[in-house]
Amino acid sequence: MARKRKAARVREVADNGTPETRRRVQPDPLLSRHMENHRAAAGYALREALEEGIGARGFDLVRIGMGGGAKSNVHYVPLPQEHLMDARGWLVRWRRECVAAGIVHAVAEAVSVGASVREAGVMLGIPKSTAQRHADRGLDLYADMRGYRRRAISTGTGG
């Protein structure tokens, strides 16, 4: 008698798409209900500075009109909005403070633009717990610098 062969199992493989697609469809870490309010506000402010602002070198190019090109009567060069320039200034100051405090600011920046803490840790080659600590400290520092975090004010009565 011939032996019966087992039927080949059909394995379904899910197409996870490209990294860009996965990033677009995964939930934003700043919208997590576990994220504290001041950290979420700091993350949104960092996102604004990173995605929409321009640096000082870019602003200089806009101001000088980038020279050359066709000459016409239209001299309108759209300048970036003032709050975006202010956000970039805060970003530069925050990065300096992070370096002085020993905080890896790249983790907080990655979280603010939509990467999870785990993904930020993998990108930088550090454990998730360390990445979480750097993200929390970085966002807390930015929130303190911008005044997003409320603290109890001591009256000094000592009562």
DSSP string, 42-62: HHHHHHHHHHT---HHHHHHH
The pLDDT value given to residue 94: 95
Query: What is the pLDDT averaged over residues 23-34?
Result: 76
pLDDT band of residue 87 (cuts 50, 70, 90) is: confident
Alpha carbon distance 142, 58 (integer Å):
24
pLDDT in the model for residue 69: 47
What's the domain count of the chain?
1
Q: With pLDDT > 90 as the criterion, what percentage of the chain qualifies?
A: 35
Q: Per residue in 95-111, pLDDT tens?
A: 999 999 999 999 999 99
* pLDDT tens column, 29-46: 888 888 899 999 999 899
In a domain, 6, yes or no: no
Torsion of CA 80, 82, 85, 91, to 10 degrees: -140
Say which residue, 133 or 156, is predicted with more confidence.
Answer: 133
Residue 123 falls within a domain, yes or no? yes
Tell whether 97 is covered by a domain.
yes
Write out the residue range of the structural domain in which residue 51 sits: 30-66+77-146
The answer to whether residue 114 sits within a structural domain is yes
Within-domain flag for 20:
no
Q: Is the pTM of this model over 0.85?
A: no
In a domain, 135, yes or no: yes
Would you say residue 127 lies in a domain? Answer: yes
Q: Which residues contact 103 (CB under 8 A, 6 or more apart)?
A: 134, 137, 138, 141
